[in-house]
Chain A
Amino acid sequence: MIAVELVKLARRPRNWVSLALLCGLPVVVAVFVVITHLAPPPGQGPALLSDVLSSGSLFPAAALAIVLPVFLPVAVAVVGGDSIAGEASSGMLRYLLARPVGRARLLAAKLVALVVYVLAAVVLVAVTSYLTGIALFGSAPVAATPGGLTASNLAATSLSGAGLTPAGLLARILGAVAFIAVSMLGVGAIALFLSTVTDSGLGAALGAMAALITSQVLVTLNSTSAVSPYLPTRYWLAWIDFFRDPILWRNIDRGLAVQAVYVAVFLAAAWAHFATKDITS
């Protein structure tokens, strides 16, 4: 069943379009920056973009920062929201279940396909943006500092950062990719649960997005500090800590723990609801 779901994922033109858009947006940004040589000043615009002009090796990190707030969660919510609801609205759900495909098995296969999509999206963005960055900005050596990642020529003057080997940088990028993938899995789990509730894939995707936007609004408020550590988007940006020296694990660990709870709770809810649901679509 997992193979069937992966085939369906791969043969869906929409999924390829969404991946192309995800990879395309950072390229567009890079082209503008390289033409104008106007990077946003440090502290403004997407994280890390200000340093990209110094070294293209930093661009994967900047690209992830570009797609993370909206584009990536939208794509994941669409795929996750479509997983069960899409089958229901196309009328195939009843034929799959009468085939018979066990309900738990179908849900598990959908989850695997979703994980594969999330990983493919994040890894593809990282790879294409790395190639773009090297091609457009060159690959000056990079240093990690307590304040974050920076090109080493700057670091030498401002902070006592250690130079990063390409392997070290790769390891940190992989860490960031894994962290972002786990964060997106939290989104996917919410979308998957909503997908078992409604027969409209669009509704499920929008529901998941509404949850994220609510969370993002609440996180910015001081008055919500009591609950904000438990909001799904609270630690989304913690992946930047992979590029500090030494790596700042505190928020990374908390982010992973929060996402693990969201994934577990919403997958359990999805299973409980789907297993007992009357299929009338």
Chain B
Amino acid sequence: MIVTRSLTKRFGSFLAVDEVSLDVREGDRYGFLGPNGSGKTTVIRMLLGLVYATGGQIEVLGQPMPARAPQVLARVGSLVEGPSSYRHLSGRANLALIDAAGAAGGRRTRPARIAEALEQVGLAGIDSRAVSKYSLGMRQRLGLAAALLRAPRLLILDEPTNGLDPRGIREMRDLLAGLNAAGTTIFLSSHQLSEVEQLCTRVGIVDRGRLVVQDDLGALQAPTGRTVIRTAAADRAAAVLGSDVAQRDGDRLTVAAADPAAVNARLVTADIPVSEIGPERRSLEDLVLSLTSAGADRVDRRAASDPKDGAR
């Protein structure tokens, strides 16, 4: 659905996106992660033909972008850097204008399309209030409704849960999962790692403009070959397991052994009560933190002014 080859974007001397090669397959729920300023939004803007690439190729829905933008974008719904609207108009009037712009469906079916999109995002009951009176969550829902207007084959969503409360986030996840089950491919960027963990099947992680990882979430979270146990008798357990103990943190031991059952058997034989045991898995958070640097919104003191680094 989305293939990029060595996609690169320079803004002047600043390299925003550096040889990113994405591969999003049909039916994926793809999570696109990375710190602030790592180039996620620039990639999304290039996928949508808003920003022109400095180098590399983009294919969306099997066709080159931005050369075939009219055909491609007609089947893509998007939410980029927050929802926008004509604030002095009502939500319905906004959707009507968006629907009429570009290669829209028929005018006669427009009210039905708008009603369906509003129903999907939970705004079926909105009245003629101007959007300027909407809450942030309502605007987010309206933005998603605009993305859904044409029943797109591909949804490109940048931070879709921004401004939603926990219930709203849950609704959004159910909606996206339902759309995905009905055949829509979802490409979603988010900071909410728990969000991505619960929704996505594949992730790509960017850091400073480079794609550092792209894989199935299941593979990335595969057992690490170690076992984590929790026991009230941690000292005795550590003695029994000896040099297999890789790490100890209070009553929590990390053991360099892949099979929890075998570890459990050794502890039970030694009459040690085990309250929790299981294979160690990397959380998405660990993965992201280990693979990425601090976001571009963090500005530390220059290293040269640090006396320890002064010798360099």
Binding site for B on A (CB under 8 A): 1, 3-4, 7-8, 11-13, 90-92, 94-102, 276, 278-280
Contact = CB atoms under 8 A, between A and B. Distances in A.
B73 A95 contact: no
Given A4-B97, A278-B52, A95 B76 contact: no
A12 B70 contact: no
B100 interface: yes
B137 interface: no
Given A94-B48, A99-B73, 12 more contacts: A1-B101, A4-B101, A8-B86, A91-B82, A91-B83, A95-B78, A95-B80, A98-B48, A100-B69, A100-B74, A100-B103, A280-B51
A89 to B, nearest CB: 10
Contacts of A12: 88
B84 A91 contact: yes
Contacts of A7: 97, 100
A13 to B, nearest CB: 7
Given A8-B97, A280-B51, A98 B85 contact: no
Contact of B86 (A3, A90, A99, A102): A90
Given A3-B100, A12-B88, A92-B85, A100 B50 contact: no
Contact of A278 (B50, B86, B87, B101): B50
Nearest to B78: A98
Contacts of A8: 86, 97
A100 B73 contact: yes
Q: Name the interface size band of chain B.
A: 20 to 34
B61 to A, nearest CB: 13
Given A4-B101, A98-B76, A99-B102, A279 B82 contact: no
A279 to B, nearest CB: 4
Contact of B102 (A11, A101, A276): A101
The 3 closest A-B pairs by CB, nearest first: A91-B84, A99-B102, A100-B73
A95 B51 contact: no
A279 B92 CA distance: 26
Contacts of B51: 278-280
B64 interface: no
Contacts of A101: 101-102
B70 A102 contact: yes
A104 B9 CA distance: 24
Nearest to B9: A278
Nearest to A100: B73
Residue among B81, B88, B97 with max Cβ neighbours from chain A (10 Å): B97
A95 B102 CA distance: 10
B97 A279 contact: no
Contacts of A280: 45, 50-51
A94 B98 CA distance: 12
A92 B78 CA distance: 12
B278 interface: no
Contacts of B97: 4, 7-8
B188 interface: no
Contacts of A4: 97, 100-101
B168 interface: no
B163 interface: no
B49 interface: yes
B98 A95 contact: yes
Given A97-B50, A279-B45, A13 B88 contact: yes
A92 B84 contact: yes
Interface string B45-85: 10011111000000000000000011001101010111111
Contacts of A96: 98, 101-102
A100 B82 contact: no
Nearest to A95: B84
Interface string B132-151: 00000000000000100000
Nearest to B48: A98
A97 B49 contact: yes
B89 interface: yes
Contacts of B49: 97-98, 100
Contacts of B70: 100, 102
Interface string B82-114: 111111110001000110111100000000000
A209 to B, nearest CB: 25
A141 to B, nearest CB: 48
Interface string B7-49: 0000100000000000000000000000000000000010011
Contacts of B146: 95
Instruction: Find the residue from B49, B85, B98, B101 having the highest chain A CB count within 10 A.
Output: B101
6 contacts: A11-B88, A96-B102, A97-B50, A98-B78, A278-B51, A280-B45
A7 B98 CA distance: 12
Contacts of B82: 91
Nearest to B84: A91
A117 to B, nearest CB: 17
B50 A98 contact: yes
A96 B94 CA distance: 12
A102 B52 CA distance: 14
A225 to B, nearest CB: 43
Contacts of B74: 100
A61 B82 CA distance: 50
A13 B87 CA distance: 12
